[in-house]
Amino acid sequence: MTVALGYGDTVDPEQPAVLTSDSTGRAESAVSAGPAPPPAGSQPASRREQARLVFASFVMLFAELALIRWVTANNVYVTRATNFMLLASFLGIGIGFLNARSSRDYLRWTPVTLLALVGFVLSFPVILKSLSGPHPLQGLHGSPALPQPVSLAVVFLLTVAVMAGFGQAVARIFVRFRPLSAYRLDILGSIAGIAVFSGLAFLDLPPAAWGLIATGGLVVLLLPRLRWWQVLATAGVAALLIGESFVPHQQWSPYNKLSVQQTSGRTPALYVSANNIPYQAARSLAVMRVQKKFYFYPYQHLARADLGNVLVIGAGTGNDAAVALAEGARHVDAVEIDPLLPKIGLGHPDHPYQNPRLTVHIADGRAYLQNTDTKYNLIVFALPDSLVALSGQSALRLESYLLTEQSVAAARADLAAGGTFAMYNYYAPFLFDRYATTLAEVFHRDPCAQVGPPLGGRRLSVLTVRAAGRVPHCATFWHGPARAPATDDHPFPYLPANTIPLPYLQMLGLILLGSLLLVRLGGGSLRRLGGFVDLAFMGAAFLLLETKNVVQFALLFGATWFVNALVFAGVLAAVYLAVEIAARIRLPRPPVLYMALAGSLALAWLVPQDALLDLPLVLRFLAGSALAFAPVFLANLVFAQRFAGVETAGTAFAANLLGAMVGGTLEYIALITGYRFILIVIGVLYALAFITGLRSRPRLASA
For residue 665, what pLDDT is reported? 87
Identify whether the C-beta of residue 631 lies closer than 8 Å to the C-beta of residue 548. Answer: no
Q: What share of the chain is helix, strand, coil (3-state, %, to 5)?
A: 60, 10, 30
Q: Each residue of 435-459: pLDDT tens digit? A: 999 999 999 999 999 987 777 677 8
222-236, 520-534, 641-655 — most confident range = 222-236
For residue 37, what pLDDT is reported? 45
The answer on pLDDT for 216 being more than 70 is yes
45 — pLDDT class (breaks 50, 70, 90): low
Higher pLDDT among residues 522 and 188, named by residue: 188
For β-strands 257-263 and 250-252, DSSP reports them as antiparallel
The answer on pLDDT for 31 being more than 50 is no
**Cis-peptide into 16, omega within 30 deg:** no
Euclidean distance between the first and final Cα of the chain, in Å? 27
Higher pLDDT among residues 387 and 232, named by residue: 232
For residue 652, what pLDDT is reported? 77
For residue 449, what pLDDT is reported? 94
For residue 353, what pLDDT is reported? 96
235 — pLDDT class (breaks 50, 70, 90): very high
d(CA 159, CA 109): 13
Taking residues 134-142, report their average pLDDT: 84
The answer on pLDDT for 33 being more than 70 is no
Higher pLDDT among residues 397 and 90, named by residue: 90
d(CA 565, CA 567): 5
Taking residues 671-678, report their average pLDDT: 92
For residue 318, what pLDDT is reported? 93
Could you tell me which CATH number the domain at 523-703 has? 1.20.1250
Higher pLDDT among residues 448 and 180, named by residue: 448
C-alpha dist (Å) from residue 498 to 294, 387, 490, 670: 31, 22, 9, 9
For residue 102, what pLDDT is reported? 82
For residue 496, what pLDDT is reported? 87
Higher pLDDT among residues 256 and 119, named by residue: 119
Q: What is the mean pLDDT of the chain?
A: 84
The answer on pLDDT for 140 being more than 70 is yes
- Domain spans of the chain, in order of start: 59-176+207-245, 282-466, 523-703
Question: How large is the angle between the packed helices 561-584 and 533-557, nearest 10 degrees?
Answer: 140
For residue 226, what pLDDT is reported? 94
Q: Which of 43, 170, 108 is nearest to 650 (CA)?
A: 170
Could you tell me which CATH number the domain at 282-466 has? 3.40.50.150
Taking CA 614 as the corner, what is the angle to CA 569 and CA 544, rounded to the nearest 5 degrees?
Answer: 40
The answer on pLDDT for 703 being more than 70 is no
The answer on pLDDT for 44 being more than 60 is no
Strand order in the sheet with 269-274: 250-252, 257-263, 269-274, 277-283
343 — pLDDT class (breaks 50, 70, 90): very high
Higher pLDDT among residues 344 and 397, named by residue: 344
For residue 622, what pLDDT is reported? 86
Q: How many residues comprise the chain?
A: 703
